[in-house]
A and B are shown apart, each in its own frame.
Chain A
Amino acid sequence: MKLIINGAEREVDGVQTIADVVAHFGLAGKPLVVEADGAVLTAEQWETADVHANMQIELVHFVGGG
């Protein structure tokens, strides 16, 4: 399935939910936040949030800053 993740097109196979996408990139259990098609999703929502072709997904995390 074609997804737009962090601004770049990616072919990601075998994913049905946001939780699958997170796991696909080896990020399960890590502190991150997901936005899908403009909506912020809390971690509890990942399992039930279905992905669809061309979905715009942002995977963000905290980095050092002042």
Chain B
Amino acid sequence: MRDSLQIGGIELSSRFFIGTGLFPNPYVQQEAIKASGAQVLTFAIRRINLESTEDDSILQHVQNEYFVYLPNTSGARTADEAIRIARLARASGLSDWVKVEISANERTLLPDPIETLKATEILVKEGFTVLPYITDDPIMCKRLEEAGAAAVMPGAAPIGTGLGILNPYHLGLIVEDAKVPIIVDAGLGSVSDVAQAMELGVSGVLMNTPVAKAKDPVTMAKAMKLAIEAGRLSYLSGRIEKKKYASASSGYEAFKLN
């Protein structure tokens, strides 16, 4: 059975989108990316620190033609700022994909839906492959799809919290209604969260903190990969109905020895 994921005209070999922040060192990061099997890598754009000659560009460690690069617009508080970051990212020549991420609230880092929609509309017109990070609101997700988003990325919980899926009902509605891939982005913490997301029918997950900050990031990356695959297969297989009372696996005929 062929079960592929297509975004922006690219067929992806993995449903795992992995972030590149917070890893203890470049070696562990590289090994974790390898173990994750992820093809899509996210990263951020920042000013170069001109006081330090040390090279901390992430691309020194991971550059490889196999990967699809998904720069984010983190740090943007408005649509205009996100658009500016997206244009800078594209000028690198590495990718025309962009994860629109616009947060004005530093405590929750929750996305600003109005600015996100505005930025998505403009960047789609400019020819970007746009994957907006958004709250788990079914109406907003639909509006972003209609604006031309290549995939929509609702959060499970605020970034880096590891709280898991706070509103599985909404996520289920979003998936049911979507005509573009839905990628859960942010808030996942463990393999059970990941399996739950995949069982709800999402097309993939984007994670960073739960891998990078695990005690053993490389093994956790592998665990997450397996959870994605298990959850996907479970979703495709169709789980049983929940019942209130027991039903015996071997029927309920009287069992008599004489």
Which A positions have Cβ atoms within 8 angstroms of B? 5-7, 10, 25-27, 30-35, 40-43, 58-66
Q: What is the count of residue pairs linking A and B with beta-carbon distances less than 8 angstroms? A: 98
Q: Name the A residues within 8 Å of B92 (CB-CB).
A: 31, 33, 62
Which residue of A32, A33, A65 is within 8 Å of B21 (Cβ)?
A65
Q: A31-B59, A66-B21 are in contact. Are A61 and B46 (CB under 8 A)?
A: yes
Interface size bucket, B side? 35 or more
CA distance A40 to B45 in the complex (A): 14
Any A CB within 8 A of the CB of B243: no
Q: Name the A residues within 8 Å of B21 (CB-CB).
A: 63-66
Q: Are A33 and B72 in contact (CB-based, < 8 A)?
A: no
Q: Are A64 and B44 in contact (CB-based, < 8 A)?
A: yes
CA distance A10 to B59 in the complex (A): 27
Q: Can you list 30 residue pairs at the A/B interface with Cβ under 8 Å?
A: A10-B50, A25-B48, A25-B50, A26-B53, A32-B57, A33-B88, A33-B91, A33-B92, A35-B88, A40-B87, A40-B88, A40-B91, A42-B93, A60-B88, A61-B45, A62-B45, A63-B21, A63-B44, A63-B58, A64-B23, A64-B44, A64-B58, A65-B19, A65-B42, A65-B74, A66-B19, A66-B20, A66-B159, A66-B206, A66-B209
